[in-house]
Amino acid sequence: NAFGGVLCAFTLILIGVLAFSIRLFSVIKYESVIHEFDPYFNFRVTQFLSKNGIYEFWNWFDDRTWYPLGRVIGGTVYPGLTLTAGSIWWFVNALNIPLSVETVCVFTAPIFSAIASWATYLLTKEAKGTGAGLMAAAILAMVPSYISRSVAGSYDNEAVAIFALVFTFYLYVKTLNTGSLFYATLNALSYFYMVCSWGGYTFIINLIPMHVLLCIVTGRYSSRLYIAYAPLVILGTLLAALVPVVGFNAVLTSEHFASFLVFIILHVVAFVYYIKGLLTPRLFKMAMTLVITVGLAVCFAVVAILVALVASSPTKGWSGRSLSLLDPTYASKYIPIIASVSEHQPPTWPSYFMDINVLAFLVPAGIISCFLPLSDASSFMVLYLVTAVYFSGVMVRLMLVLAPAACILSGIALSSAFDVLTRSMKFQLSKLFDDGPAISGNGSPNGSSASTVNTSSSKNEKTEKSEAAPKEKQSKKNRRKDKEVTESVSVKPKKEKRLSVLPLEASIVSTLLLIALGGFYVVHCVWAAAEAYSAPSIVLTSRSREGLHVFDDFREAYAWLSHNTDVDDKVASWWDYGYQTTAMANRTVIVDNNTWNNTHIATVGTAMSSPEKAAWEIFDSLDVKYVLVVFGGLVGYPSDDINKFLWMVRIGGGEFPHIKEPDYLRDGQYRVDAQATPTMLNCLMYKLCYYRFVETDGKGFDRVRGYEIGKKHFKLTHFEEVFTTHHWMVRIYKLKPQKNRIRGKLKKLKSSSKTSSTLAAGRKKNPWQ
């Protein structure tokens, strides 16, 4: 009815405003700045797109990263996010609203989370109705897991990808429910947007085939299933192949094979049903026996060939990241880079409570509610949740995929609970006030209905509530005659046998408790958004007696680089800081967060782990002029390079066997104090971090590690310090050029050159020897 529709729309607008505003804490507490590392790359790409247009963007070869290899941006980036923000910027500027690219980038994520909660409303409405939809939308607007990746300033793929994910699922379920080819087309287009946005699209193209298989196996095959799935596979594969990042992987990698396999199975099942419709049952049985004997042999041969093909490739056709999802121990054994990313670690139990809070309790109730009754849409929700729970257990980052599923199921649970409770309250209250014959038309049906139904005491309640239903119907449509009421009442008890009614006190208390539960959830979400997930991590703050102290060292260092070095100078640092350096300092870097070339990263890691001379040689071969390290020992910043150093050793040691991790550990323990190994105390990372550190407090006490450092007084021979930020958090060093003349070493060089003249003639002698 109209009032309900208006109320619904108004609630949705409020939910959108809520989703947008809860993500603005970082803008209020800090400033409108881009956070973290990856968003800086996306921001730089969006800047390029807005300046040079889309054709330049598609063909962009970036020579300012991964020196000297470069990176083909057009072919290795997921363009969805940048194209979305770029179009918003272009559209807004075409309306003469002068928003800068940075503003648009910062606020893209909150806008799309509002739209994502509307998509969740649509999806849940398909499964369980409007009430559950509104509940789920309200919960998704606030869930901390989603806030953590979509706060204002977190300009990353997930900002738009979660919206695309939920919207694609909505269109799939809508096609499944209606059987309309129009929605199937929209579904394919939405899937295309998802492929453009995020590598996690493989989740969709594996979940939907799983659901189709589930429907077939549980006997729920229908022609709507065919219309929902078959066009999606063809159109979806083609559209996925259109995106340069995916390309032919859409048909060649194992991540997509499930969809093709289920496509074939679906056609076989559809054909079987068709033949079944044509033939009589006896003939059909005959056909089945004939086909099975012949078909089984052919099937077996085909499957054997397929398996042999796939098994012949070393990773069985799966990419490293997907394999690490299926086998959580894979990455730590074979690919240390994937294992070293903190987002790829398995989550701890408390992080579930932190990220989805109260939903962890409501989800099982939602699963039960989905089974009463089970429809295609609700079975899809349950399957989505189960797979999302598994994957979230493998990688912390994938808690984000669990969040919409948990919100939907919690919305369903809460909505069903409120349904039962309010129905009980309404019924009990009406019974309370129904002592006199005040309500019309219910006196006679009362007696007749009691006689038509079993008069056992347990069923009395059901007759009473079954007359409450026609009473409500009477209030809505005033045309029921008494006879029809009695007939419907005598029929109703059979249909509504499973409805239950609770006593009044219990329902009132339960409603209040559920509202309190929601209140706790809201309080936790706002706290998480304000305190835990709003840090931009490029600016740090701490509270002291003098008030708020701001650590802006990163931007200080990048600004120094951009003002005091030449445009073509190369800067080497660990890969964490690559994106920020290219975006803010505008200098060429050696490795960055894309981590696509393990050997290059291992080279930098080896250089950081080697003594000064060897490190100078490596960096000089890469044309590096400046080296940047992050050091937190003076102020207690724990994510500095010394804490990350063991990963540099491991990754470097993975490619260059002369770097061995045990050389840097004393008795298996990683230390930098007086007990540290000589290899550790002489490596470049130690020297660059702790050079002149003893001058700060006279003792060289490292606040992060909690002890005094081992080697305190030393000089640098191959590097010179050019800049250290205010809190010593970023330190920049320059490579010293080679000396022009080498005194007193000529005789040695001549004698050694005679003996080694038979060796490679053009080998450059290191003048430092």
Which chain residues interact with other proteins by CB under 8 A?
Answer: 179-182, 184-185, 188-189, 222-224, 226-227, 230-231, 234-235, 237-239, 241-242, 248, 251, 270, 275, 277-280, 283, 286-287, 290
User: Smallest distance, Å, CB 291 to other proteins?
Assistant: 10
Closest CA to 538 of 589, 601, 581: 581
Residue 639 near residue 623 (C-beta atoms within 8 A): no
683 in Cβ contact with 609 (< 8 Å): yes
Give the residue with the Cβ less far from other proteins, 141 or 225: 225
Beta carbon nearer to other proteins, 230 or 694:
230
E-strand ranges in 461-561 read: 540-544, 547-551
Least distance CB 570 / other proteins (angstroms) = 37
CB neighbours of 88 closer than 8 A, spacing ≥ 6?
A: 104, 108
Interhelix angle for 281-312 vs 257-278, to 10°?
170
**Minimum distance, C-beta of residue 138 to other proteins, in the bound complex (Å):** 34
CB of 308 to other proteins, least distance (A): 19
Smallest distance from the beta carbon of 266 to other proteins, in angstroms?
10
Q: Which is nearer to other proteins, 182 or 361 (CB)?
A: 182
| Least separation in angstroms between CB 283 and other proteins | 5
What is d(CA 586, CA 568) in angstroms, rounded to the nearest whole number?
A: 9
Q: Is the peptide bond before 39 cis (omega within 30 degrees of 0)?
A: no
Whichever of 175 and 593 has its CB closer to other proteins, that residue is: 175
Beta strand pairing call for 730-735 and 626-630: antiparallel
Measured CA to CA, the distance from residue 230 to residue 755 in angstroms comes to: 74
Instruction: Label residues 419-451 b or e (16+ Cβ within 10 Å = b).
Output: bebebbbebbebeeebeeeeeeebeebeebbbe
Task: Tell me the CA distances in angstroms from 406 to 143, 359, 384, one per residue in order.
Answer: 9, 6, 9
Check if the beta carbon of residue 407 is closer than 8 Å to that of residue 135: no
- For the four alpha carbons of 578, 602, 668 and 321, in that order, the dihedral sign comes to positive
Q: Say how far apart CA 97 and CA 391 lie, in whole Å.
A: 43
State in angstroms the smallest separation of the CB of 226 from other proteins. Answer: 7
Minimum distance from residue 193 beta carbon to other proteins (Å): 13
Q: Which is nearer to other proteins, 287 or 420 (CB)?
A: 287
What is the C-alpha separation between 691 and 711, in angstroms, rounded? 9
| Nearer of residues 226 and 391 to other proteins, judged by Cβ | 226
290 vs 550 by CB, closer to other proteins: 290
Least spacing, CB of residue 46 vs other proteins, in Å: 24
Query: From the CB of 172, what's the least distance to other proteins, in Å?
Result: 15
Neighbours of 514 (CB within 10 A): 16
- Comparing CB distances to other proteins, the nearer of 184 and 425 is 184
Distance of CA 738 to the CA centre of its chain: 48
- What are residue 701's DSSP bridge partners? 708
- At 419, the amino acid letter reads D
Q: Which is nearer to other proteins, 179 or 320 (CB)?
A: 179
Compare residues 179 and 611 and give the one whose CB is closer to other proteins: 179
> Smaller CB distance to other proteins: residue 14 or 252?
252
Question: How distant is the alpha carbon of residue 74 from its chain centre?
Answer: 22
636 Rama class: left (phi>0) / alpha (psi -120 to 50) / beta: left
CA distance linking residue 451 with residue 41, whole number of Å: 75
Query: Shortest Cβ distance from residue 249 to other proteins (Å)?
Result: 12
Please answer whether residues 59 and 599 qualify as being in contact, where contact means their C-beta atoms are separated by less than 8 angstroms: no
Using a 10 angstrom Cβ sphere, with 0-12 exposed, 13-18 middle and 19 or more buried, the burial of residue 610 is buried
- Measured from the CB atom, the residue of 231 and 518 that comes closer to other proteins is 231
Shortest Cβ distance from residue 224 to other proteins (Å)? 7
Name which of 179 and 518 has its Cβ closer to other proteins: 179
Q: Which of 473, 478, 483 is nearest to 448 (CA)?
A: 483
Q: How far is the CB of 246 from other proteins (least distance, A)?
A: 12
The span from the CA of 253 to the CA of 260, in Å, is 11
Q: Could you tell me which residues are beta bridge partners of residue 544? A: 547
